[in-house]
Amino acid sequence: MMKKKAMVLAVLLAMLCLTGCNSTPYSRTVIKQYIEEYWALQDYDLAEEAKATDISKNTWEAYDKKEDLHFNVYDDYHINADIVITTSRNVWSDYEYQLIQKNLEEMPEELTYTGDEGDSTFELHYSNLEELQKDCDALWSYYEFLNEKNCKVNISYQLIYDYPKPMMLDHELIDTSGTIGIDTQYQRAGYRSKEEIYDAARKNYFYFAYFYRIEDMMKNATEEDIKNVYDSNQSYAVVKVTEEGTEEVYDDLFVVYPKYGISYGEFYELLKKEGVEVEGTPESFTFQGLDGEVHLSYQETGTCVDENQIKEYTGISLSFDKENSNKKVTVAVDYNPFS
């Protein structure tokens, strides 16, 4: 094994020698071009030579005179020896990180900076729409503050929902992440206004609310919010097949993201529609099933039921349109669960 490792290392070193021209550090002229184009700086100082931070990185010290800001430009050298040995160079800087560190006292209390030298990410938490609006206002305000200092600033954010009750819910459905500004290095445009940030997070908020049928959240939905959820690619109509074989659409009932079944809250509403006596709320309820009492709770038992569980509990047959062609969930009529 040691011989094999030594042989691989020898081959890598040999290939590194053959590709030595690719490992040549970028010149000072190239670094200056990066600073001026990527950060739009004109009045700045740049060290005459780079410091070899390690075998694969050179560090150039720089100074933004306008902002009295010291920052570094990194020239990284990478070797990828997965299948075919390839080499590459990457120039990047910690300008945003240093700018944020210098202005942390100006950062609104709603924001928490979670980034590092190569990442400008902020984290914000909220538990209702009012707090979400305040978060978006604070985030945008700080972005504008940084943008006035340098028009090339591009930041990332995570809006994290804190539900007041301990429940087994998938917060990936509601937590929102994004960028603000234009990332010129990767040619990506982020949100251009606080309204866009809020609207994107609000859509996720109600998508989450209607998937789990969280009544405290749903009560704040407008007709437009409901339409946005219903019109999403992951919302399905609920259709009942009548005794005559025709389809009857439940106009006021739809399910969201039925990939692995339906949520407890959606099941709760379906039971009510089918005339089953249910005690509790969509978050925690009890009903009399075919083989005895059934209790489902987001706090105790899980989040979703699939077709087999529904059939076992009630005798109700559901058919999910997995291909999303008709976007419907069919309720069969070949049952009389509690007669």
DSSP-derived secondary structure for 223-248: HHHHHHHHTSTTEEEEEEE-TTS-EE
Taking alpha carbons only, the member of 259, 260, 157, 252 closest to residue 213 is 252
Q: List all residues 6 or more positions away from 150 whose beta carbon is below 8 Å from its beta carbon.
A: 39, 40, 41, 64, 67, 95, 99
Residue 210 has pLDDT above 70, yes or no: yes
pLDDT-derived band at 314 (thresholds 50, 70, 90) equals confident
Q: Can you give the pLDDT at residue 59?
A: 95
CA distance 195 to 27: 43
pLDDT at 8 over 60: no
- pLDDT of 195 over the 50 cut: yes
Q: How confident is the model at residue 110 (pLDDT cuts 50, 70, 90)?
A: very high
Cα–Cα distance list, 275 to 92, 278, 304 (Å): 63, 9, 20
Selection from 13-27, 181-195, 278-292, 299-313 with the highest mean pLDDT: 278-292
What is the spatial distance between Cα 290 and Cα 77, in angstroms, rounded to a whole number?
A: 66
**116 three-class SS:** strand
Does pLDDT of 114 surpass 90? yes
Largest CA distance in the chain: 88
Q: Are 218 and 212 in contact (CB under 8 A)?
A: no
Q: Confidence class of residue 11 from pLDDT cuts 50, 70 and 90? A: very low
The model carries a pTM of 0.81
What is the rounded average pLDDT for all residues in the chain?
83
Q: Where are the beta strands (DSSP E) in 148-283?
A: 155-161, 176-180, 182-183, 188-189, 235-241, 247-256, 262-263, 278-281
What pLDDT, on a 0 to 100 scale, did the predictor assign at position 86? 65
Q: How far is CA 204 from CA 16, 29, 171, 260, 285, in A?
A: 48, 46, 10, 19, 25
pLDDT of residue 128: 95
pLDDT for residue 47 is more than 90: yes
- pLDDT tier at 184, thresholds 50, 70, 90: low
Q: What is the pLDDT of residue 164?
A: 77
Q: Are the C-beta atoms of 149 and 65 separated by less than 8 Å? A: no
Confidence of residue 165 (pLDDT cuts 50, 70, 90): confident
Enumerate residues 6+ apart whose C-beta is below 8 A from 111.
122, 123, 124, 138, 139, 142
- Judged on CB neighbours under 10 Å (0-12, 13-18, 19+), 85 is middle
- The better pLDDT of the pair 300, 259 is held by 300
Residue type, 59: T
Percent of the chain, pLDDT > 70?
80
Tell whether the model's pLDDT for residue 5 goes beyond 50.
no
Residue 175 and residue 223: Cα distance in Å, rounded?
22
The 3-state DSSP class for residue 251 equals strand
Q: Which one has a higher pLDDT value, 256 or 71?
A: 71
| Arithmetic mean of pLDDT, 273-284 | 92
What's the distance, Cα to Cα, between the start and end of the chain in Å? 71
- Residue bearing tokens 């945008």: 140
Confidence label for 337 from pLDDT (cuts 50, 70 and 90): very low
Name the band, by pLDDT with cuts 50, 70 and 90, for residue 221.
Answer: very high
Q: Decide if pLDDT at 217 tops 90.
A: yes
Percent over 90 (pLDDT), the chain:
52
